[in-house]
Amino acid sequence: MALVAAGLSQEKYELHLGLVTQATSADAKLPSGVTVHALGARRVRGAPFRLVRLVRRVKPDVILSAMFHLNFLVLLLRPIFPRGTRILVRQNGTASSSLALDGLPGFTRSLYRVLYRRADRVICQSRAMAADLMRVTGVGEERLAILPNPVDVEGIRKRIGKESLRWSGPGPHLLAVGRLSREKGFDLLLQALALVHEQIPDAGLVIAGTGPEEEALKAECHQLGLENAVEFAGHIDWPWGYSPNATLFVLPSRHEGMPNALLEAAAAGLPIVALPSSQGVIDLLRGQPGVWLAREVSAAALAASLLTALQALQPAERFAHSFVEEFRLDRAIQAYEELIDTNLREKQS
């Protein structure tokens, strides 16, 4: 969303970015023409009064919300927002997988079905995600929009090599990036690495990210005897500093929508090993050069794909990954502007 806010035309739009659970806007590196509002709520469910005050003060023509639980709140509050406000919600994961695997309350499915029908458009990142959402919510196809995640492909490629982070050990070096939460599957990656070590004992792994599973993952790392092979790097603004000397990127997620970490790794040219975490990911990666897609979501399947990739790759081998071109920043921003303009015309009619 920061990339969208930074990329949208400041000549056409007055842009505001609301940070619901942040108390400061210091981390939002955005052009001066984007007004940042840090609402400072402890959790999304504690934000309704602050959000209503913000919307009534700014009086936006269009609201774009970007996480499913925030989408629920925005759509629930819609009746008390200024009349005529258009609401676009972006689905940030495969709904059926989240419902099945994330331990969400039983009424979440009902919230999807009731609230998503209040949206003027629901944005998905792939046709597979859109088809899944139609099954879960009953929202008609005419109210869905399939838009690519924006990826600063050129910016990533220009920056690589200028900022390099150091690896320890002889390698091969595996890089994984993401929030340390169950759906991201880092426990599966640790189990897979233990299997890889049986054949390639020098393989090392850097995990860039923070999250609620961090302590549990470090404990599992200890139990598997991988303390000297795994580095938990924490939050890094530029994790692709590891890419010049990385052997490959790993996506170990149990389920995903269209993860930006995967797309950014592709922009960096890294070989990719991934679990089949969604139909959208499968459709994107199947048969692509420099990609090894596991047969199923399991540690054993991930280990098998890692071993196959490591045995096939040449030192420092890189790939063009032409599939990332559709996610280039200019194309994605153009698609978002076209959707916004369509809704502005509908608002006026």
How many domains, the chain?
2
Q: In this structure, are 171 and 146 located in the same domain?
A: no
CATH number of the structural domain spanning residue 52: 3.40.50.2000
135/191 same-domain check: no
Question: In the predicted model, what is the mean pLDDT of residues 308-323?
Answer: 96
pLDDT of residue 99: 87
pLDDT at 100: 86
pLDDT band at 27 (very low <50, low <70, confident <90, very high): low
Based on the fold, state whether residues 54 and 190 are members of the same structural domain.
no
Secondary structure (H, E, C), the chain: CHHHHHHCCCCCCCEEEEECCCCCCCCCCCCCCEEEEECCCCCHHHCHHHHHHHHHHHCCCEEEECCHHHHHHHHHHHHHCCCCCEEEEECCCCHHHHHHHCCCCCCHHHHHHHHHHHCCEEEECCHHHHHHHHHHHCCCHHHEEECCCCECHHHHHHHCCCCCCCCCCCCCEEEEECCCCHHHCHHHHHHHHHHHHCCCCCCEEEEEECCCCHHHHHHHHHHCCCCCCEEEEECCCCHHHHHHHCCEEEECCCCCCCCHHHHHHHHCCCCEEECCCCHHHHHHHCCCCCEEECCCCCHHHHHHHHHHHHHHCCCCCCCCCHHHHHHEHHHHHHHHHHHHHHHHHHHHC
Are residues 200 and 78 part of one domain? no
238 plus 225 within the same structural domain: yes
**Which residues constitute the domain of residue 189?**
153-327
Do 188 and 134 share a domain, yes or no?
no
Same-domain pairing of 95 and 182: no
Q: How confident is the model over 94-127, as pLDDT tens digits?
A: 889 888 877 888 889 999 999 999 999 999 999 9
Task: Say yes or no: 140 and 199 in one domain.
Answer: no
Residues 160 and 280 grouped into a single domain: yes
Q: 25 vs 212, which has greater pLDDT?
A: 212
Q: Are residues 264 and 276 in the same domain?
A: yes
Q: Are residues 178 and 276 in the same domain?
A: yes
Q: Which tens digits make up the pLDDT trace of 242-264?
A: 999 999 999 999 999 899 999 99
Among 24-38, 70-84, 85-99, 289-303, which stretch is predicted with the lowest mean pLDDT? 24-38
> Tell me: the pLDDT tens digits for 28-60?
578 889 999 999 999 999 999 999 999 999 999
The predicted-structure confidence for 261-280, as pLDDT tens digits, reads as follows 999 999 999 999 999 999 99
Q: What pLDDT, on a 0 to 100 scale, did the predictor assign at position 71?
A: 95
In a shared domain, residues 238 and 339: no
